[in-house]
Structure 1
Amino acid sequence: MQLQGKRIIVTGGARGIAASVVRAYAAEGARIASLDVLDDEGAQVAAAINECYPGAVSFHHCDIADRAQVLAVFNEAAERMGGLDVMANIAGVERTSPAEDIQQEHWDLIFDVNVRGTLHTNQAAFQHMQAQGGRIINFGSAAGLTGMPGAAHYSASKGAVLAWTRTVAQEWARHGITVNAVAPMIWTPMYDTHRAKMSAEALAAHDQHLSTIIPLGGKLGNAERDLAPVLVFLASDGARFITGQTLSVDGGTVPSR
């Protein structure tokens, strides 16, 4: 029970990676406020987890691109839990397009959620952690480290998240707040949507490409097996002396390049 008594906010908790992380946090003894704009799915995930770990999770509607909404929900969640020890900002969006064809609305959406959402959630968490310290975990991507052809706007947003993380880790260290990021290559519902748009030929080429760039297994990882335990560690007391880092959970992809 590495997180016994920890009070945690997780954004994007309705599905995918974040839902797996909420489950892992509950299993380790934490109390969690799960935030998302997908109300039905978010409530269902929370209810299912509470069947195994009664009272562990509360669900809250929250659009992290909306600053006022974030501040209000964080205040509500922290009051409900009696404080805030950890915040994992996992919510994010992705769109693909050749760089020359990127639509303004898609650029704005990606930066509103991925970048402004990071600003809003981190600042809100800071308000509750300033006096006693805490853990902030942001979500980058290999796209923010090495680039991702066909998704320059997504890559740019994740690069911004990683730069923000490195900087505020230095600024907020004096308050006992650690700020780290993960750059995962994990199979998610968002990735399923991406694959569904590909032709059979494109999908075969894509899978062949992954088999050559991911040294460990040749394909994307599993959220519960490969990533959630890393998020548990970063939220735990064992990570108290780690800050300003980007941890690539990608089967060795980035180093191989």
Structure 2
Amino acid sequence: MQLRNKRIIVTGAAQGVGESTARALAREGASVVAMDVDEDRVRATAHSIAAETGGDTTFQVVDVSDRGQVFDAVAAAADRLGGLDVLVNVAGVQRAKPAEELAPEDFDFLLNVNVRGTFYTNQAAFTAMKASGGGHIINFGSDAGMTAIRQLGGYAATKGAVHAWTRTIALEFAQHGVRANIVVPAMKTAMTRAGAKEGRAGVYAKVPLGGDLGDPDRDLAPVMVFLAGDGSRFMTGQTICVNGGIGMAR
């Protein structure tokens, strides 16, 4: 098992990419704390993973936009796990609208989860990782944060912020042995199915590898296992695109 003894938190773990990631990490022997705002779903996910793997997978109900909740939850998880090696911060939301129609409440919704949620989870994880002697923060970006996609202006702005923030903490946290990288996925999930028809659908039809989105279990999970393991120890500040070539970072 590649991740035996790894202590990992996965946010947004109730479904989709988060669930797939948590399951893959647990299969490789990691102890996983699955966090999500949806109590029923995250409980069911954690119980399912624990039953399948026989490993140590538990859950916590956390609203990542609430700083107090995040710091308390991460501290409790690190205490239970005996430290923290990896944070996989999947939690994110989308709202598709033409740019001129975005209202203040749309910006608040996107900023609170995608930007503040990233800041808070990363800060809390850094505190725990510094005490453990190092770790790896894996944030989720988006092709929308690197290129223009119609109707996703607000979402794109928040993901662009995640990209810039992650590069900055990679630089600042390195002296403490804490790495930070960005994963840019293009997977079939509830979020992508609900994306703007004129925006995401048109772009995704042009995916070079097969003309369609990837499968989280088959295409993304193995990459997440690698990033959570020791093989990625000399990588930080990087953008890892698992998107079939729809966008190419350098």
Normalising by the smaller structure, the TM-score range is over 0.9
Instruction: Return the letter of the residue paired with 1:172.
Output: F
TM-score, normalization by structure 1 = 0.93
CA contact (8 A) 1:16 1:188 kept: yes
Distance apart, 1:246 and its partner CA: 0.7
**1:216 maps onto 2:209 in alignment:** yes
Q: Structure 1, unaligned stretches of length 5 or more?
A: none
| 1:6-155 aligned within 5 A | 6-131=6-131, 132-155=133-156
Q: Find the partner of 1:235 among 228, 232, 240.
A: 228
SS in 2 for 1:244: coil
Equivalent position amino acid for 1:238 in 2: G
Tell me if the contact between 1:36 and 1:42 (Cα under 8 Å) persists in the aligned partners. Answer: yes
1:226 Cα deviation after fit: 0.7
1:251 partner amino acid: G
Residue 170 of structure 1: aligned partner: 171
* Aligned counterpart, 2:158: 157
Q: How does 1:180-219 map to 2 (within 5 A)?
A: 180-194=181-195, 209-211=203-205, 213-219=206-212
Residues 206 and 179 (structure 1), Cα distance of their counterparts in 2 relative to 1, 3 Å cut: closer
Instruction: Report if the CA contact (8 A) 1:207-1:219 is conserved.
Output: no
Supply the distance in 1 between the matched residues of 2:152 and 2:202 (Cα, whole angstroms): 19
Q: 2: distance between equivalents of 1:77 and 1:164?
A: 24
Write the letter of the residue equivalent to 1:31. S
C-alpha contact (below 8 Å) 1:85/1:135 kept by paired residues: yes
Q: By how many angstroms is 1:49 displaced?
A: 0.9
Q: Match for 1:221: what amino acid?
A: G
Give yes or no for contact 2:204–2:246 (8 Å, CA) kept in 1.
Answer: no
Q: CA deviation at 1:56?
A: 2.0
| Paired residue type of 2:4 | Q
What SS does the corresponding residue of 1:10 show, helix, strand or coil? strand
Amino acid in structure 1 at the alignment position of 2:6: K
Q: SS at 1:247's partner residue? A: strand
Is the CA contact (8 Å cut-off) linking 1:8 and 1:32 kept in structure 2?
yes
Structure 1 outlier segments of 4+, above 4 Å? 205-209
**Secondary structure of residue in 2 paired with 1:253:** coil
- Judge conservation of contact 1:140–1:158 (CA < 8 Å) in 2: yes
Structure 1, residues 30-62: CA drift from partner, whole Å, max 9, x if none? 000000011111111111111122242101000
- 2:207 & 2:160 partners in 1: Cα distance? 21
- Over the aligned positions, Cα root-mean-square deviation in angstroms equals 1.6
Deviations 1:194-213 (A, max 9, x none): 37xx5xxx6xx9756533x2
Partner AA of 1:112 in structure 2: N
